[in-house]
Amino acid sequence: MIFHAFLIKYAEIAIKGKNRYMFEDALVKQMRIALSNVEGEFEVKKEQGRVYVFCPEEYDFEEAVEALKKVFGIVGICPVVIYEDQGFEQMEKDVVSYMQNRYPDFSGSFKVYTRRAKKSYPITSMEVSAQIGGKILEAFPQACVDVHDPDLTLSVEIRDKIYVYSETIKGPGGMPIGTNGKAMLLLSGGIDSPVAGYMIAKRGVKIDAVYFHAPPYTSERAKQKVVDLAKLVAKYSGPIRLHVVNFTDIQLYIYDQCPHEELTIIMRRYMMRIAEHFAKEAGCLGLITGESIGQVASQTLHSLAATNEVCTLPVYRPVIGFDKQEIVEISKEIDTFETSILPFEDCCTIFVAKHPVTKPNLKVIHRSEMKLEEKIDELMEEALKTTEVIEIS
Ligand code: ATP
Ligand code: MG
């Protein structure tokens, strides 16, 4: 069956009043971006309080649906067959032929739901539904009408043309990217941070990212893995500017100057400081990490507090209360899992102490950081200056 359009359903509760306009415009924009990667021509249009994708040319249905399934804000995707308006009798025939094509052996319960966008249409919606229902019963003697809990709802929209649909493919929900500002994701090669980025993006937040790279201790392949993860997240979030920070000299310096059991915490404090620098530069309103309470020594409440202390922007940690297994499930759903588990080294793991502190004392940490006074500013400046920016789309 050839579908000429998609009717896009979105959650309307969250978008009353003047927000509605902003929401719909952002949705249309993100849909256009998503469909630009699909072969064929698509026209995304707002029409009388609805959003449609019209498909005037031949196109790959599966690919188009896959692309739309990644656009936040979409709750349902309904493939539509469009018929010319050639009078009511023809409409009845068209709807019956839709049923015959789509559900040749239909024997369940159904209802017809008619909506007249064209109010001048001479027959009321109720009558249209009743008449068409009758014709369907004639063509499908095994079928029956159930207006309360039907197996199939056949929607007929009367516009300039007649739109017929009966299926809703589930969308990702959430809010369209661009309706909620921008935040900076600390993206490592692990399982958690891509999921964290996805979750915040789902609330309409545009995303940039920063990755701390420690050559030669971390390889080009480890960096490529992060680029690949950013690409997977970008399928949902849209383009990401990925900042690759050369972190080696800072890490080595901390390693030389500070107690090894405090290394991870101090290192993470520097990561946050650098991420915040780029966040502010890019106009981001927060940081995002994949931290989850108790997962590792650096994610106890004490450690999180110590890391958080250096941040002035809010830090969003959407997986904070999730078990690893729950995070893994989302990463499988969004297709980042297989990439995340590739076995490349991470800059955090290389210098990790045998017995890292799990209850860092802030006074002690401050004292240790004093030992970095001599060179740290210079090293930070160098790290900022040599950061490579990769545009991911
Ligand atoms: P993930 O699966 O996200 O790597 P993790 O369990 O390995 O998480 P940590 O290594 O302690 O946890 O890192 C916690 C968070 O700090 C990560 O989720 C990520 O947001 C950030 N982070 C850690 N290492 C890096 C890095 N090399 N570059 C950028 N961000 C990082
Ligand atoms: Mg990690």
* 95 in Cβ contact with 136 (< 8 Å): yes
Which DSSP category does 72 fall into? T
Which DSSP category does 261 fall into? G
188 lines ligand 1 (CB under 6 A): yes
* Residue whose CA lies nearest to ligand 1 atom number 24: 188
- What global pTM score does this model have? 0.90
SS3 269: helix
* 38 in Cβ contact with 59 (< 8 Å): yes
* Residue whose CA lies nearest to ligand 1 atom number 1: 190
C-alpha closest to that of 376 among 227, 214, 255: 255
**Closest ligand 1 atom to 295 CA:** 6
CA of 191, nearest ligand number: 1
* Residue whose CA lies nearest to ligand 1 atom number 16: 289
In whole angstroms, what is the distance from residue 363 CA to residue 348 CA? 23
351 burial (CB, 10 Å; 0-12 / 13-18 / 19+) is middle
Q: What is the pLDDT of residue 280?
A: 98
Q: What is the pLDDT of residue 13?
A: 59
Phi–psi pair at 122, nearest 5 degrees: -70, -10
In whole angstroms, what is the distance from residue 179 CA to residue 19 CA? 9
Helix (H) or strand (E) holding 69: none
- Mutate-to-test residue for ligand 1 from 184, 185, 192, 246, highest number of ligand atoms within 8 A of CB: 192
192 lines ligand 1 (CB under 6 A): yes
**Closest ligand 1 atom to 189 CA:** 4
In whole angstroms, what is the distance from residue 204 CA to residue 183 CA? 11
* 262 in Cβ contact with 364 (< 8 Å): yes
Q: How far is the CA of 49 from the centre of ligand 2 (A)?
A: 44
C-alpha closest to that of 145 among 113, 172, 118: 113
* Residues in contact with 59: Cβ distance below 8 Å, sequence separation at least 6, in sequence order: 38, 39, 40, 41, 42
* Residue whose CA lies nearest to ligand 1 atom number 17: 290
Q: How far is the CA of 375 from the centre of ligand 1 (A)?
A: 25
293 lines ligand 1 (CB under 6 A): no
Task: Count CB atoms within 10 A of the CB of residue 324.
Answer: 12
In whole angstroms, what is the distance from residue 269 CA to residue 143 CA? 66
287 lines ligand 1 (CB under 6 A): no
- Per-residue pLDDT of the chain in tens (393 residues, 90 and over written 9): 899 999 999 986 566 677 788 889 999 999 999 999 899 999 999 987 789 999 999 999 999 999 999 999 999 999 999 999 999 999 999 999 999 999 999 999 999 999 998 888 889 999 999 999 999 999 999 999 999 999 999 999 999 999 999 999 999 999 999 999 999 999 999 999 999 999 999 999 999 999 999 999 889 999 999 999 999 999 999 999 999 999 999 999 999 999 999 999 999 999 999 999 999 999 999 999 999 998 887 889 999 999 999 999 999 999 999 999 999 999 999 999 999 999 877 665 667 777 888 898 999 999 999 999 999 999 999 999 999 999 998
